[in-house]
Structure 1
């Protein structure tokens, strides 16, 4: 199948993952065909950037929760990429953005006859682990938070619209204001190896996730509608992730103590903070999902893995966390 030309609608283009998806869409070499034309992007955002950026990007100011802003958004689009979401604690906003906003975008994509539709979700819809080498929908989704419940509910509208639904695990990279800051807090509150650092996690670098999103939206190979895990095929030990972040000066040096999970949880409860026990268990316990299929379907190479990318983003993380760089 030829590369799809024409307009690509993108929501969330100024957010963490959306900004990486935008860069990937504008770089055909990254999604498998350097000779392909750069697509035109119609980006729905709440605030238009002060710097307009490439001429191929048309910024459309509007809110997902406003039907008038979404109406007509997908007119003439060859592909619709829905990345925008709300991940805060306001349950009403979760429903307004992640459920009703998704419904509006998907209904508009279907009405406009978009050739391909991509929807970003999360493996958090599966709920509490441990999860070891889980294939797509191998277990029943049992989301444990308002955010995850709303993401799963939004998936239903995407699947009804014939979308490729991508479920990444932990996403790392420039723009991440949640994962690594939470890990730093947890390391400070629980200064030990967590159960020997054995927990296996599905990770993906945000740039690689952007490449996958772009390939599904406009690549030569059409990925069948349905759910796909979007992560690096090789799981990463939490101990290795924390060690690499420490080596890059993002986290404190690795502790010598090694505590079993019950001891870690006792220490966590004794030192209250913003990060929850559930967040700790998501990192300390296996949350590994099989993610080989999407790379095969898109024809992309996964590369050496997200740990190898941390050297490129360590400076950004250090700046975010206010920690000094390495000598």
Structure 2
């Protein structure tokens, strides 16, 4: 990895969202590959930088993308912007200010600084309702169904117009996950039944694998990737049955013993889990898997083993950090309201 830094030229990299689920995994991956020993400096934008970040060998710039007036010149001297920060949920105005307007501000600063390397972390949630079955990036147009996804779809459009690169993961799991697996556990416990035998197929990715792809891209020349969109998932989809069986087995939860049709299951979840939206339920009831081969070929990274093998590495973290019995609104994947 130390020699694969084409396009950086020794100049710093700007990272947003470093304290979040995916962004913190990127920092971990940079540390794992020894970036802070041989790589260009890392500049991190954070609203409230925690102590661990300040002591991790990065330069911290304190600020908020929703109020960027004090961040003028943030891209000066930078080679690359890795933009992972996002507003997930909340009111439409906040989503617009952070996701669309904040991204547009960063792009304007990059333009002023003469930077062309800009990577934006989006989500397959911009596609809206499924089913989606193995569609490639060029064959499926965004049709967002929430304020969050609408603002991120608008941000994507600005990034692509600029010539930046967009990544769209689907369901992300691993250390730091507060949405996907915790929500799945509460759903299985509240309604212990398969949805149409768990036959729906879905795309997933381990957060450390996603971070590895980002770090790999940081070190590559982007001539072929400007304006491109990549699905960022493990290339092999899994069934919901495999996901549930693996999670329950690793976390000591009882497997569903009955089978219900999607309609019957949804009627029951509406009563016992009112926080679960139709869109979130749909992610487990119908196919949502995306052709993700291009990104792995572009980065020349081996995706490695399947879900069961990779989830086992994170199971200890989940046992320590989540409470499947918690009575909270259930969210599956990215919260779409």
TM-score, normalised on structure 1? 0.91
Deviations 1:179-224 (A, max 9, x none): 1121122212321111111111110110011011112222366541
Deviations 1:105-148 (A, max 9, x none): 11111221224210010001111001000110312211111111
Residue aligning to 1:87: 88
Residue aligning to 1:227: 229
Residue aligning to 2:182: 181
Deviations 1:44-103 (A, max 9, x none): 001122132332x10111001222233111111111100000111311111111110111
Residue correspondence of structure 1 range 287-326 to structure 2 within 5 A: 287-322=288-323
Residue aligning to 1:149: 150
Provide closer, same or farther for how the CA distance between residues 223 and 242 of structure 1 changes in structure 2, counting only shifts above 3 A.
farther
**Cα distance in structure 2, aligned partners of 1:93 and 1:81:** 21
Provide closer, same or farther for how the CA distance between residues 27 and 71 of structure 1 changes in structure 2, counting only shifts above 3 A.
farther
Q: Residue 17 of structure 2 is aligned with which of 12, 15, 23?
A: 12
How many residues were matched structurally? 318
**Cα distance in structure 2, aligned partners of 1:28 and 1:140:** 36
**Cα distance in structure 2, aligned partners of 1:307 and 1:82:** 30
Residue aligning to 1:190: 191
Deviations 1:266-299 (A, max 9, x none): 1112323322222111122110000000010111
Aligned to 2:51, the other structure's residue is in SS state coil
**CA RMSD after TM alignment:** 2.1
> By how many angstroms is 1:314 displaced?
1.5
Contact 2:232–2:292 under 8 Å retained in 1: yes
TM-score, normalised on structure 2? 0.89
Residue aligning to 1:284: 285
> By how many angstroms is 1:254 displaced?
0.9
**Cα distance in structure 1, aligned partners of 2:209 and 2:163:** 24
Structure 1: runs of 5 or more not aligned: none
Contact 1:268–1:277 under 8 Å retained in 2: no
